[in-house]
A and B are shown apart, each in its own frame.
Chain A
Amino acid sequence: MCLGIPGKIVHIVDHELQLGMVDVGGIQREVNLSCVAEDDQKLESYLDEWVLVHVGFAMSVIDEDEAQATLGVLNELGEMQEELTAMREGAS
């Protein structure tokens, strides 16, 4: 359910309506930013941010650090597996 796709905010279209243009792989679409824009922040500060877009609304600003951390877990797992294999091979 709920198809959502990451896109980058490339320009602000309408400040009052809080609309921004989001780019997904070269395709652009006007997107409502009100769910991600904080009251005291200028919309311009969201330029170049990546957001998750669902039915024309940006629903979440993507957290780069968390994305890296998620992938980092997998890298560590991979290294552990390699070490284990190396140890087994060394033992035999």
Chain B
Amino acid sequence: MSEAHATAADTGTPESTRVRHGKLVSQVITLAHGGGGKAMRDLIDDVFISAFDNPALNTLEDQARFQLSDLARLGDRLALTTDSYVIDPVFFPGGDIGKLSICGTVNDLAVGGATPLYLTCGMIIEEGMPVETLRKIVASMASTARQAGVQIVTGDTKVVERGSCDKIFINTAGVGVIKQDYQLGAHLAQPGDVILVNGFLGDHGAAILNARGDMNLSSPVESDCAPLQGLIQAVLTAAPGTRFIRDATRGGIASVLNEIAQSSKVAIEIEESRTPLRKEVKGFCEILGLDPLYLANEGKIVVVVPEAEQDAALSAMRAHEFGEEATSIGQVLTGGVAGRVHMQTGFGGKRIVDMLVGEQLPRIC
């Protein structure tokens, strides 16, 4: 089998290069599907390869192979990242673990200025999972990967006994290439810079907490899970002086802001009245006594840009489907206490916005 000449542009080629077409007959995943025999081959062929279908994967080698010259055309540095996805429930309003596992890794690459290209997919599946469920998750990974312009080029599957994992755990690692001019870092924020976000905060956290059902609330809020490479490239093109971008996942924007303040040794002030929140997320937080600044997002980034590039960055974001509600929420102060983030409250007071200690629990009494 010749080496794959895979580039991002190959995604979705109509001519498949698949060489093997095993069919999976069983309805339920059993330990046999992780055993290395025919059952496992059929699972890989029929569920994974058929969905992910791309030249590098279709070679079925133990590793995906890339032409360095192809990569070098896109930039001067490689970016590599990995993340594991465990989520309860596996399917939630606005997404599922499959979509999440692609978006998360794509976004982790993209916020560094990289063009995401290739992902790996490692799965640990609990025996007893219906094959239909697995197909749904894999299909969601495949379509999200297409949307993000990346290929899933190698993978691994393990099946574990009931109780050894919670339905399914997915790990994806990703490789991307960073363009010559991009220099982003949490330590680069400077006094006068402005802090931007690309839309409503806390949707993912509120959707997941609600989907678990413990609180018996009915809420229309959906996860904001989305691949942001396009939006981020648009920002970087419009505002080449951008200092730093980070996706505000667990710990919410509060954690990202604290990281910037600490790494750059600056003080940051945000304004409560400018933080974009859906009415329902506000309501959700009021009922449960939660602070939306700490709720997780899966499709939101914090962007630090020099003030002069604020308008350019904002209009680039607003022109993109995942940035329509983009807005500036605060700035890096001149002076102030380095490493601190505070918020001008909507009521006219000020308070410190600290890192979260542990998990945010509903506050009831």
Residues B216 and A24 in contact, CB atoms below 8 Å apart: no
> Chain B residue with minimal CB distance to A24?
B283
Shortest Cβ distance from residue A52 to the other chain B in the assembled complex, whole angstroms: 12
Interface size on A, residues (CB 8 A): 13
Residues B287 and A1 in contact, CB atoms below 8 Å apart: no
> Chain B residue with minimal CB distance to A5?
B286
Residues B283 and A25 in contact, CB atoms below 8 Å apart: yes
> Chain A residue with minimal CB distance to B363?
A3
A25 with B365: in contact, given A3-B289, A5-B286, A5-B287 (CB under 8 Å)? no
Within A23-64, the residues touching B (CB, 8 Å) are 24-30, 53, 55
Cβ contacts B26-42/A at 8 Å (1 or 0 each): 00000000000000000
CA distance A5 to B284 in the complex (A): 11
Query: Does any Cβ of B come within 8 Å of A2's Cβ?
Result: yes
Shortest Cβ distance from residue A14 to the other chain B in the assembled complex, whole angstroms: 14
Cross-chain contact of A27 among B284, B289, B363, B365 (Cβ < 8 A): B284
Within B29-79, the residues touching A (CB, 8 Å) are none
A27: chain B residues within 8 A (beta carbon): 217-219, 280, 283-284, 287
A3 with B364: in contact, given A25-B279, A26-B279 (CB under 8 Å)? yes
> Chain B residue with minimal CB distance to A2?
B365
A30: chain B residues within 8 A (beta carbon): 216
Cβ contacts A4-19/B at 8 Å (1 or 0 each): 0100000000000000
A2: chain B residues within 8 A (beta carbon): 365
Within B218-246, the residues touching A (CB, 8 Å) are 218-220
Shortest Cβ distance from residue B90 to the other chain A in the assembled complex, whole angstroms: 23
Query: Does any Cβ of A come within 8 Å of B282's Cβ?
Result: yes
> Chain B residue with minimal CB distance to A55?
B364
Residues B364 and A28 in contact, CB atoms below 8 Å apart: no
Cβ contacts B271-287/A at 8 Å (1 or 0 each): 00000001110111011
CA distance A92 to B283 in the complex (A): 49
Residues B218 and A24 in contact, CB atoms below 8 Å apart: no
Residues B363 and A28 in contact, CB atoms below 8 Å apart: no
B363: chain A residues within 8 A (beta carbon): 3
CA distance A30 to B218 in the complex (A): 9
Residues B365 and A55 in contact, CB atoms below 8 Å apart: yes
B282: chain A residues within 8 A (beta carbon): 25
A3: chain B residues within 8 A (beta carbon): 289, 363-365
Cβ contacts B354-365/A at 8 Å (1 or 0 each): 000000000111
Cross-chain contact of A24 among B215, B278, B287 (Cβ < 8 A): B287
CA distance A55 to B362 in the complex (A): 11
Shortest Cβ distance from residue A2 to the other chain B in the assembled complex, whole angstroms: 6
A25-B280, A27-B218, A27-B287 given; name 10 further pairs at CB < 8 Å.
A3-B364, A5-B287, A24-B283, A25-B282, A26-B278, A26-B279, A27-B280, A28-B218, A29-B215, A30-B216
3 shortest A-B CB distances, which residue pairs?
A25-B283, A26-B280, A27-B283
A-B contact pairs, 24 of them (CB 8 A): A3-B363, A3-B364, A5-B287, A25-B279, A25-B280, A25-B282, A25-B286, A26-B219, A26-B220, A26-B280, A27-B217, A27-B218, A27-B280, A27-B284, A28-B217, A28-B218, A28-B219, A29-B215, A29-B216, A29-B217, A29-B287, A30-B216, A55-B364, A55-B365
Residues of A bordering B, CB below 8 Å: 1-3, 5, 24-30, 53, 55
